[in-house]
Amino acid sequence: MSVVFLGISAGQPTTRRGMSCIALLRKGDVFLFDCGEAAQVQYRRAGLGFARVSGVFITHMHGDHVTGLPGMLMSLQLSGRTAPLRIAGPRNLEAYLRTTLRFLETGLDYELVITEHDSAERVLETDEFVLTAGPLDHRIPAIGYRLEEHAYPGTFNVNAARACGVVDPRQYGVLHRGEAVVTDEGRLVAPSEVMGPSRRGKVFAYCADTRPCDGGVALGRGADFFVHESTYGEAHVTRALHSGHSTARQAALVASKADARRLVLTHFSPRYDDVGVLLDEARPLYPKVEAAQELREMQV
């Protein structure tokens, strides 16, 4: 699992930063979190391939997080997409998309599966992970996201299997899937006899525009990779409060309360040409902090 930052600017683009958009890469799939203006341009620059987009998850209905979505949908259309596309976000997202596409007289050859969320609930669940949404504290309804992989099976011990009489390699896979087998001698061998302890899955969490809040702490709990907005420095903490944003120091405090394993700051006000000052304010509260960079890929 890895993350590519396609846009890290707050409110408006700069000559070096695009609007909010994050690509989460996992086993051939790409999940987009937010889709600000010209996101499809940054996506193409990143060389990710439009066929890989498996879902788009919007945090709130401010333009710098959603106006790039119609263009992204049209780019997917032009790339020949036919598979349904899952889109999730806050209320009014579906009305915005349907109305925009209608007025642009744009038809799509693929289905949009749109769901709207305003509370802590599951958005998507597969055999390998669960994606949940949770409420944040912005000026308008906003949600954050948490993708948590299910635990992975432990390491298969070939020597232990042979000691139990399992000699057919085809039965190794059965045991690895968590099913018991019967040896040629008639002995029942349980997976617990040959498998090591299960391994914890990875957790990615994303909190865009929000004041520091309990919802952000819940989403980031124990996250391996916690992306949190940090629009301002402490010199503008009052402005952050009134506009529904966080300072870098506040983001660090949220990550510390959540016991996250790693914090990555994003959504920087254009006033900060150098975000080093934001990192300096965050580190005393949370040393494991980094700043997002345009088109940089980071491993989760």
Q: What amino acid positions are annotated as catalytic residues? A: 64
Tell me the pairing of strands 188-189 and 53-57. unpaired
Is 11 in contact with 3 (CB distance < 8 Å)? no
In 3-state terms, what secondary structure has residue 56?
strand
Cα–Cα distance measured from residue 81 to residue 289, given in angstroms and rounded to the nearest whole number: 38
CB-CB contact of 266 with 9 (8 Å):
no
Amino acid identity of residue 192, one-letter, is S
209: tokens are 């525009």
Burial of 156 (0-12, 13-18, 19+ CB in 10 A): middle
Q: What are the backbone angles phi and psi of residue 200, rounded to the nearest 5°?
A: -65, 135
